[in-house]
Amino acid sequence: MKHQASSIKPRVVFIDDDADARELLRAFFRPRGYDMRFFDRPSLALQELEKTLDQTDVIVTDYMLPEYDGVELIRRLRKQDIQIPIILMTAHSSIEMAVEALEEGASDFLIKPLHLPQLELCIERAFRIHELHQENTTLRMALQQGGQDDSSMEGIVGRSAKIKQAFELARRVAGSSASVLITGETGTGKEVIARAIHRFCENRKGPFVAINCSAIPENLLEGELFGYVKGAFTGAAGNKAGLFEEAEGGTLFLDEIGDLPLSLQAKLLRVLQERQIKRLGENKFRDIDVRILSATHKNLPREVAEGRFREDLYFRLNVIPIHIPSLRERSEDILPLADAMLKKFMQLHGTPAKTFSKETLEFFLSHSWPGNVRELENTVERAVLLCEGDVIQMSHLLLGAASQMSGSLPVESHGEAGGHGSSAEAEEVRSALDEVLSLEELTRRHILRVLRRNNGAKDKTARMLGIDRKTLYRKLNEYEALIGRPPLPPERSERPEFVQ
C-alpha cells in the first residue's frame, strides 16, 4: 500500500508575539501547503481554540508571551481538556523549563533560534502520534460498544440482532482490502455503513469518494470514473482525473452498482482485476490503490440470471456481502433512532427542547416506514420545524400530506354512528399526490381536514393539532379571508389551555 501521510498536512496554530518570527514561519510553511493561523496573545488563541477544535491539529507556542507564559498556556489548555499536541519554543535552554513543560502536557520542546526543517519534523511527528492515539481510542470505543445493548458505529444507532450482525461484519472486514457489496432497500443507510468501513480501514488516511451510478448519464459516467485527456471527446477542454484517481489511497464507493451499464461493467471488471485505469483518450495505464465498496437495492443474482449484470463482476464485487435490514424488520431500533434524530435536529435548527407525545411514539412503532431510515429522518426533522411547543404531536408529522400519500395509513373513519371514512377526503389525499404544495398550503389543508373530522369542534381540533385555540382561530381567520368570507367571531374565553 502506498504511504499517503505526507500528502496530508496538519492544520497548525502558531502563538508568538514577535511579528518577525510570525512572518518567518509564514514564509516557510505556506509554500509547503500548511493551513495556518497566527496569534500574538495566548488569551486570543485560547478563546479561538475553544470554538475551532475540529480545525486544529497542532499548536506551536513561544514561551515568552504577554499576559502569561507558554507553560501556563499549556496548563490552561489541558485544564479545558484540549488534547491537541503542543510544541513549546523558547530562547532559554533550561532543563527545568523543559521538564516543567513536558509535565504539563507539551508534546515537544525546541530551542531558538529555530531550525525550521526540524520544527516541521516535530509538527509532522506530533500530528502522526496524535492521529494514532485518536484512532486507537476510536477502535477501543467501537469494541466496547459492540457488547452494549445500544450498538453504535460511527453514529449508527441500532440494538436489534440483525443490525448488530451487520455492524459486526462491517467492523471485522474494515481492515481488509477485500471488495464489499452492501445490499438493502432504499433509505436503509448503505452509504453510512460504507463510510464507517472506510473510517476503520487501513486506507482511511485517503479520501472517501462516492458516486451514484444511476444518477449520471452513461455517456458521462465513464469519464467521471476513469477521467479523460484534452480532446478525448467534444467538450473535453482539458485533462481531468477520474474518481478512481481522486480516491487514491482511500475508498471509492459505487452506490447503486446494479444500474451500471453493461459496457462499463466490463471496464470496471478489468480495473478490479488489474488495479490499473486508463483515462479516456489516453494510452497510458495508471496504477491505483483504492478500496472498492459498492451498494445496491436490486437483487443482483436475479439481474445476473436475466442478463442485466455480469456474473464475473458480481463475484468480484461480492467478496464480502453485508445486508442492511429494512426498518420494519428491526422495529426495536425505531424509537432509539427517532430519539437520536430529535436531538440532532434540535441542535441543528436551534430549537428549544422537545419530546414526542405517547401517540406519536405509538405511530412510529406501528408505521411500516417504506422509506426506511431516510423517511423517519425526514419525518422527525419536519416535526421539529413545525412544532412550536415542547411536545411533538401527531399533527406535526403532517401525516395527511406525507404518510397517507404513501398509502401506508388508512383515512380515519369519522362521522355520525361510526360511518366509514369520507370518500371525498380520501380522494383529496390521493389527488395531492400529483401536486407540488408549499408548506403553507400543506398546513392549511391538514388543519381544515382535522377540523372537518371533528365536525367543526375547534377545541378538539386544537388539541389534536397540538396548538392553542388562539393559534387555530388566527389560522382559520387567515384562510377565511383568502376566500372572501367574514372572519370567525373572537374566542369567548381567554383562559389559556394546556396540551396534556
Q: Between 56 and 399, where is the model more confident?
A: 56
Q: Residue 116 to residues 21, 45, 89, 121, 122: CA-CA distances in angstroms? A: 11, 22, 12, 9, 10
Least confident window among 84-88, 147-151, 484-488, 492-496: 492-496
Least confident window among 9-18, 120-129, 335-344, 468-477: 468-477
Could you give the CA distance from residue 175 to residue 164 in angstroms, rounded to a whole number? Answer: 18
pTM over cut 0.75? no
Could you give the CA distance from residue 5 to residue 135 in angstroms, rounded to a whole number? Answer: 14
Q: Between 487 and 132, where is the model more confident?
A: 132
Return the CATH number of the domain spanning residue range 329-482.
Answer: 1.10.8.60
Cell (9 digits) for 166:
451487520
Write down the pLDDT at residue 223: 85
Given the C-alpha cell 411536545, which residue does it identify? 391
308-339 pLDDT per residue, tens: 999 999 999 999 999 999 998 888 888 989 98
Is the per-residue pLDDT at 81 higher than 80?
no
Q: Which part of the chain is CATH 1.10.8.60?
A: 329-482
Cell (9 digits) for 402:
406525507
Is the per-residue pLDDT at 1 higher than 60?
no
Least confident window among 95-99, 201-205, 274-278: 201-205
Structural contact between residues 14 and 37, judged by C-beta atoms closer than 8 angstroms? yes
Cis geometry, peptide bond prior to residue 113 (ω within 30 degrees of 0)? yes
Alpha helices in 411-500 (DSSP H): 423-431, 439-453, 458-465, 469-482
Residue 472 neighbours by CB under 8 Å, 6+ apart: 447, 458, 461, 462, 465
Could you give the CA distance from residue 225 to residue 211 in angstroms, rounded to a whole number? Answer: 9
Could you give the CA distance from residue 32 to residue 27 in angstroms, rounded to a whole number? Answer: 9
Write down the pLDDT at residue 95: 67
Read off the pLDDT band of 137 (50, 70, 90): low
Q: Between 470 and 199, where is the model more confident?
A: 199
Write down the pLDDT at residue 181: 94
Let me know if 337 is exposed, middle or buried by CB neighbors in 10 A (0-12, 13-18, 19+).
buried
**Three-state SS for 110?**
strand
Amino acid letter, 378: N
Percentage with pLDDT > 70 across the chain: 79
Write down the pLDDT at residue 60: 92
Could you give the CA distance from residue 373 to residue 482 in angstroms, rounded to a whole number? Answer: 38
Structural contact between residues 38 and 14, judged by C-beta atoms closer than 8 angstroms? yes
Phi, psi dihedrals of residue 391, rounded to the nearest 5°: -125, 125
Read off the pLDDT band of 406 (50, 70, 90): very low
Is the per-residue pLDDT at 412 higher than 80?
no
Write down the pLDDT at residue 315: 92
**Three-state SS for 195?**
helix
Is the per-residue pLDDT at 52 higher than 80?
no
Q: What is the mean pLDDT of residues 176-197?
A: 88
Write down the pLDDT at residue 146: 43
Query: For residue 294, what are the β-bridge partners?
Result: 181, 254
Structural contact between residues 84 and 77, judged by C-beta atoms closer than 8 angstroms? yes
Q: Between 103 and 259, where is the model more confident?
A: 259
Instruction: Please name which of 344, 388, 342 lies closest in space to residue 361, comparing C-alpha atoms.
Output: 342
Q: Which part of the chain is CATH 3.40.50.2300?
A: 5-137
Given the C-alpha cell 440483525, which residue does it identify? 162
Query: For residue 58, what are the β-bridge partners?
Result: 12
Given the C-alpha cell 434540535, which residue does it identify? 346
Amino acid letter, 409: L
User: In the chain, what is the greatest distance between 2 CA atoms, to the nearest angstrom?
Assistant: 94
3-state per-residue secondary structure call for 222-269? HHHHHEECCCCCCCCCCCEECHHHHCCCCEEEEECHHHCCHHHHHHHH
Instruction: Please name which of 104, 108, 112 lies closest in space to residue 127, comparing C-alpha atoms.
Output: 108
Phi, psi dihedrals of residue 200, rounded to the nearest 5°: -95, 0
Q: Between 234 and 221, where is the model more confident?
A: 221
Read off the pLDDT band of 134 (50, 70, 90): low
Amino acid letter, 462: A
Given the C-alpha cell 453514529, which residue does it identify? 155
Q: What is the mean pLDDT of residues 83-98?
A: 78
Q: DSSP assignment, residue 349?
A: H
Given the C-alpha cell 478489468, which residue does it identify? 270
Instruction: Please name which of 9, 8, 7, 15 lies closest in space to residue 46, comparing C-alpha atoms.
Output: 15
Is the per-residue pLDDT at 20 higher than 60?
yes
29-50 pLDDT per residue, tens: 988 888 899 999 998 988 888 7
436-455 pLDDT per residue, tens: 555 667 777 778 888 888 78
Cell (9 digits) for 325:
435490514
Write down the pLDDT at residue 411: 36
Superfamily of domain 152-325: P-loop containing nucleotide triphosphate hydrolases (3.40.50.300)
Write down the pLDDT at residue 57: 85
User: Average per-residue pLDDT in the chain?
Assistant: 78
Q: Between 260 and 220, where is the model more confident?
A: 260
Return the CATH number of the domain spanning residue range 5-137.
Answer: 3.40.50.2300
∠ CA 210-211-212, rounded to 5°: 130
**Sign of dihedral through CA atoms 128, 133, 137, 143?**
positive
**Sign of dihedral through CA atoms 206, 207, 212, 216?**
negative
Given the C-alpha cell 513561544, which residue does it identify? 62
Could you give the CA distance from residue 143 to residue 157 in angstroms, rounded to a whole number? Answer: 15
Write down the pLDDT at residue 8: 66
Least confident window among 257-266, 459-468, 482-491: 482-491
Write down the pLDDT at residue 299: 92
Q: What is the mean pLDDT of residues 373-379?
A: 89
Could you give the CA distance from residue 225 to residue 228 in angstroms, rounded to a whole number? Answer: 9
Q: Please give the helix or strand (H or E) that residue 356 lies within, else none.
A: strand 355-356
Query: For residue 39, what are the β-bridge partners?
Result: 15
**Three-state SS for 212?**
strand
Q: Which part of the chain is CATH 3.40.50.300?
A: 152-325
